[in-house]
Structure 1
């Protein structure tokens, strides 16, 4: 009995000593993957609760952050009625039976929460598990870009571009964006949001603040390919001018008549003028065959265009551009000098027919590479005053160029002299209300 009493006293002493030894709180190991986080509007972060088997629940204190469960796709077995072939009395027949099959199903990932930045601000995201709670403080930042009309900017890297990304603007009257490359084209003072989407879901965004520039105008170039154009809508969206196609080559195409005149020429001229927009015109120089054009081709195109413009009572100082881009018609075999001389001859014949009717403001449209490789000739590079024989203006096509300090537009050299365009065609995949087609070419005119 005494021995039993001693054992009880010893055991009690041990328990008392153990009671004074600090025991780690099991909750001390429970934590969040982050207790503070900064995210951009339109972006997000996956917050994880670690160190507990209990199911957690997350809640945001502000509409700046939206909390949703993280889901993933996994294969699970389900009972499903399927059709199988069975052999009955020597013959194969179809029969429906119940089988366990694997199907893809979205399931919630335990203790993972997606925090989406909805607007600039902050929020406390509290995660509860059982009667315990842990908080993550989230700051939501709105990325911004300040820019000026006449300068382009490539947003692809800024918005984490992927191959399946598309870009959209919240206000076409302030800034446009190339749908696939993310090239930003500011067009008027104000602010808007540019969104990067994947499968029509916003993945990232940026706020654009635009200031106007008094010496830059914004315009479109249009043809029958653009369908029925609503120039009044374009004007409301701060489009100042339109360069309208006169025609193409010497033959009838789907978008031209038998005189090679663009089917929408008259409609487009009248519509642009009625909307109070400045106009220019261009002609796509081409051959009567699939091969090299002749002097007769150039003469015929010049005569037809000049006659039609005269019948439409077009002002004589209206800018008219010769569009040079048809390889088979314009690039004569031989050296680059040979190619430039041949195009000079064709353009001078075409230009002469326009001048006979009094049109005296003739320019050239070509891509940067075409200017550099095929137009190295004083006739194309040395501009003259309106009214003089020769080229009065350079219209340059160069897509996806982001403006740089000291190089607002694409440029190139000729005989050591830097050539800067008067009009820059920035791209061809812009969307803007008022054009009947999906996309439209956009341009800056520098005064």
Structure 2
């Protein structure tokens, strides 16, 4: 009997010791967790931006554009369909392409059954002598006149031989006028030189529409073939700021492909944009004010073909 009591006492002591050890282990683990949380430094602790870790959601859609701002799909001569990421800080177009209608060869933007857009042309010395009265009677509201250009090879700033005649003729006929310069600038000094040539030429005139920087890729051993993305953006800004300082509204003209592949859009987003895309409807993702929809237009008073444009928000 005594041996049984002794065994029970020893067993009770062993159980009590095991419970005490278990409680001590739990207490140590709890203290370690509390201290670890207090001393831990989160990744990017100095950043003001919230840090979120998540698994990407893979989605596939057949739309040409993802209008929610996730991706743009374009066609490339070499790669076929290509993926272009969207700039979240560059305004997207708000134009409802379903409201664009073609009538008698002109594009119109319709709201509540009425056209709210204006129709225009852009011309140079290549159009020859223009009968601006006939052009106005044909329904043309505005015209962009080429002031000049820089030559492909030597890089010489040259005035368009018809710019004075065209500006004065268009204004006399009651057509609102803007101006553009065909640039081949390779640096900001040249872009400023071009802007100054435009400003000097426009001094005698009161124009209504913007002054446009028209820089194009030639692919014909031109002096601009090796211009970098950064240098092109610098030229755009240099030209636009120069004309803006002189009281004009600056604008950049470019076709869809060059805009998407060559322009640094976040750097030029504050300037009005003139899009060249020859199709029934524009598919350009970002904001644009004027759309050049044809380079084969036919207008009474102009011999041969001429570019046709629609201005969605008239100046």
Q: TM-score range by the shorter chain?
A: 0.5 to 0.7
Distance 1:372 1:263 in 2: 33
Alignment counterpart, residue 443 of structure 1, candidates 304, 309, 314: 309
Q: Say whether the 8 Å CA contact 1:149–1:216 is kept in structure 2.
A: no
Q: Say whether the 8 Å CA contact 2:108–2:117 is kept in structure 1.
A: no
Q: Does the residue aligned with 1:348 lie in a helix, a strand or coil?
A: helix
Q: Does the residue aligned with 1:151 lie in a helix, a strand or coil?
A: strand
Partner of 2:257: 369
Q: Does the residue aligned with 2:229 lie in a helix, a strand or coil?
A: helix
Partner of 1:313: 205
> Between Structure 1 and Structure 2, which shows a larger proportion of strand residues?
1
Distance 2:99 2:304 in 1: 23
- Per-residue CA distance 1:346-405 (angstroms, 9 max, x = gap): 12332343244x23310100000011001133122x22xxxxxxx1x1100011x123xx
Alignment counterpart, residue 130 of structure 2, candidates 229, 232, 238: 229
Q: Which runs of 5+ in 1 are unaligned?
A: 1-147, 153-173, 177-184, 190-210, 288-292, 334-338, 384-390, 404-408, 413-418
Partner of 2:164: 266
Alignment counterpart, residue 220 of structure 1, candidates 111, 116, 121: 121
Distance 2:160 2:284 in 1: 31
Partner of 2:215: 324
Q: Does the residue aligned with 2:166 lie in a helix, a strand or coil?
A: helix
Distance 1:234 1:313, change over 3 A: closer
The runs of at least 4 consecutive aligned structure 1 residues that moved more than 6 Å come to none
Distance 2:238 2:264 in 1: 19
Q: Say whether the 8 Å CA contact 1:340–1:377 is kept in structure 2.
A: no
Q: Say whether the 8 Å CA contact 1:321–1:363 is kept in structure 2.
A: yes
Q: Say whether the 8 Å CA contact 1:215–1:446 is kept in structure 2.
A: yes
Alignment counterpart, residue 290 of structure 2, candidates 413, 423, 429: 423
> Cα distance, 1:298 vs. partner?
1.9
Q: Which runs of 5+ in 2 are unaligned?
A: 1-97
Partner of 2:189: 296
> Cα distance, 1:250 vs. partner?
5.7
Distance 1:280 1:352, change over 3 A: same
Q: Does the residue aligned with 1:273 lie in a helix, a strand or coil?
A: helix
**Root mean square deviation, CA, Å:** 2.9
Q: Say whether the 8 Å CA contact 1:284–1:322 is kept in structure 2.
A: yes
Distance 1:432 1:281, change over 3 A: same
> Cα distance, 1:313 vs. partner?
2.9
Pairing 1:280–2:178 present: yes
Distance 1:215 1:369, change over 3 A: same
Distance 2:189 2:133 in 1: 39
> Cα distance, 1:330 vs. partner?
3.9
> Cα distance, 1:324 vs. partner?
1.8
Q: Which one has the largest radius of gyration?
A: 1
> Cα distance, 1:308 vs. partner?
1.3
Distance 1:264 1:212 in 2: 39
Q: Say whether the 8 Å CA contact 2:117–2:312 is kept in structure 1.
A: yes
Distance 1:302 1:150, change over 3 A: same
> Between Structure 1 and Structure 2, which shows a larger proportion of helix residues?
2
- TM-score with structure 1 setting the length: 0.43
Distance 2:153 2:226 in 1: 24
Partner of 2:229: 340
Pairing 1:244–2:151 present: no
> Cα distance, 1:242 vs. partner?
0.6
Q: Say whether the 8 Å CA contact 2:241–2:250 is kept in structure 1.
A: no
> Cα distance, 1:212 vs. partner?
6.8
